């Protein structure tokens, strides 16, 4: 985008974005449903805002394309962020109902056997780190990709509307520049989901532009975006992005993505929760302490099995032993501590369904160990 364009009033560029969204919605070259990735952060909020405004500007008789606003709950999200997301999506739902818009509010979650706690405490997966980030695919990519694929199977294709911005980071700029628009449209083919196309209406906005738009224009579903401003002030900055492919996974759990899972052990320090604590939210102290403890015990050989889950003793290229999962004793210790933190915090951190499945996994593993011992 040219420097001249950046110097134009942001209000003028914002109206162009809303018009772009409106024109794309009314396009006759593709009539498939839209799926708006909505994390509740600043970028996805601006996109949802633009889509909502565009729908309001279209006569009811022409609102023939269905729109889905889809957020993802990893089940270990920061409770404050989830409270904000719940509040905003409830307001959007109320507005949709009163205005009779063709819009569905949806929330995706990982399958019960793929939740963070079932994998870590049930199966003993070691806490995720930058070399073994098993969480992003199971908690984020798979649930939302399944939602998209379900719509593709029903309608032949789906348009995924994302708040991706070129200037968000060097990595994002490289990702945006990697894909060319499908001829004659504003869409890119998704890199890994056949039948999915990406529409990025705010791709050339700067961070300052996003905040100016949010501060200048009231939320079209009612109220203002002031609570979002406060959330960022308290959390000291950026959010984990909407992640739909493994190409984008490295953006999850980096020093630039401070919102996200409160259990994130990929980052060295959880700046968002610490920011909430520094702003007076002292109830989050035990969560930070527990998360730091998960980092500390990850490579403790006394808490890890010598063999991998496939039953093999494994070594890397240098001959260094690669330990297996957490032992069942370590998993029991983690669950006991987590339940103590949950009681102190006063909110749900692990569901009863997860606990039930965890105990079933333990029982199965103990039975297998007993059979092997008896066979020996």
| CATH of residue 21 | 3.40.50.620
User: Which of these, 224, 188, 199, 74, lies nearest to 141 by C-alpha position?
Assistant: 74
Residue with tokens 């009033």: 9
Do 232 and 296 lie in one domain? The reply is no
Q: What is the pLDDT of residue 253?
A: 52
Q: Where does the pLDDT of residue 233 fall: very low under 50, low under 70, confident under 90, or very high at 90 and above?
A: confident
Q: How many domains does the chain have?
A: 2
Residue pair 309/123 in contact (Cβ under 8 Å)? The answer is yes
What angle do the packed helices 226-235 and 207-216 form, to 10 degrees? 140
Q: Name the one residue in this structure whose structure tokens are 């998209």.
A: 148
pLDDT bracket for residue 1 (50, 70, 90)? very low
| Residue 130 sits in the same domain as residue 17 | yes
Position 153 in a domain: yes
pLDDT at residue 260 in the model: 77
Quick count: other Cβ atoms within 10 Å of Cβ 212? 17
β-bridge partners, 314 = 322
Most confident of 14-23, 126-135, 227-236: 14-23
Q: In terms of domains, do 334 and 247 share one?
A: no
Question: Looking at the domain assignment, is residue 123 inside a domain?
Answer: yes
Q: Is residue 256 part of a domain?
A: no
| Domain that includes residue 307, residue range | 271-375
Query: Lowest-pLDDT range, 71-75, 121-125, 254-258, 363-367?
Result: 254-258
The answer to whether residues 243 and 251 touch, using CB atoms and an 8 Å cutoff, is yes
Tokens of 177: 């520049």
CA distance 323 to 304: 6
DSSP string, 243-295: --STTTGGGTTSTT--SSBTT--SSSS-HHHHHHHHTT-GGGHHHHHHHHHHH
The whole-model pTM stands at 0.86
Q: In sequence order, which ranges of the chain are alpha helices (DSSP H)?
A: 3-7, 10-25, 42-56, 79-99, 116-117, 134-136, 142-155, 170-178, 207-216, 226-235, 271-278, 285-297, 328-345, 352-375
Token pair of 108 as six digits = 């995706």
pLDDT for res 170: 43
Cβ-based neighbour number of residue 47 at 10 Å: 26
Enter the tokens of residue 54: 């565009």
pLDDT in tens, 178-188: 555 655 578 99
Least confident segment among 70-74, 135-139, 217-221, 318-322: 318-322
If one compares 133 and 108, the residue with the highest pLDDT of the two is 108
Say yes or no: 106 and 245 in one domain. yes
* Any domain includes 266: no
Q: Could you tell me if 162 and 99 are in contact, meaning their C-beta atoms sit under 8 angstroms apart? A: no
Asked if 106 and 240 sit in the same domain, the reply is yes
């Amino acid at each position: 985008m040219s420097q001249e364009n950046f110097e134009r009033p942001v209000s003028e560029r914002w109206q162009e974005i809303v018009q772009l969204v409106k024109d794309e919605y009314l396009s006759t070259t593709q009539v498939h449903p839209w799926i708006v990735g909505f994390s509740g952060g600043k970028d996805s909020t601006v996109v949802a805002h633009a889509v909502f405004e565009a729908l309001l500007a279209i006569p009811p008789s022409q609102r023939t394309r269905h729109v889905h606003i889809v957020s993802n709950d990893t089940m270990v999200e920061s409770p404050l962020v989830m409270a904000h997301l719940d509040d905003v999506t409830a307001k959007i739902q109320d507005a949709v109902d009163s205005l009779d818009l063709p819009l569905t509010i949806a929330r995706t979650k990982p399958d019960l056997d793929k939740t963070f706690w079932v994998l870590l405490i049930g199966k003993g997966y070691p806490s995720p780190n930058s070399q073994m980030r098993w969480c992003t695919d199971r908690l984020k990519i798979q649930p939302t990709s399944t939602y998209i694929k379900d719509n593709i199977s029903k309608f032949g294709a789906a348009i995924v509307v994302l708040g991706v911005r070129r200037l968000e980071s060097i990595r994002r700029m490289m990702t945006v520049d990697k894909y060319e628009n499908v001829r004659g449209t504003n869409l890119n083919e998704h890199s890994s989901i056949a039948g999915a196309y990406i529409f990025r209406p705010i791709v050339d906005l700067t961070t300052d532009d996003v905040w100016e738009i949010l501060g200048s224009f009231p939320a079209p579903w009612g109220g203002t975006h002031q609570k979002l401003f406060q959330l960022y002030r308290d959390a000291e900055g950026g959010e984990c992005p909407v992640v739909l492919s493994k190409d984008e996974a490295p953006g999850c759990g980096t020093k630039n993505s401070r919102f996200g899972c409160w259990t994130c052990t990929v980052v060295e320090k959880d700046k968002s929760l610490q920011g909430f604590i520094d702003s007076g939210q002292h109830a989050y102290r035990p969560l930070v302490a527990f998360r730091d403890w998960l980092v500390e015990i990850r490579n403790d050989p006394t808490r890890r099995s010598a063999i991998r889950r496939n039953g093999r003793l494994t070594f890397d290229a240098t001959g260094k032993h690669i330990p297996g999962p957490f032992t069942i004793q370590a998993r029991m210790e983690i669950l006991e501590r987590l339940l103590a933190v949950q009681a102190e915090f006063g909110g749900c951190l692990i569901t009863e369904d997860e606990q039930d499945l965890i105990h079933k996994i333990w029982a199965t593993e103990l039975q297998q160990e007993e059979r092997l011992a008896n066979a020996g």
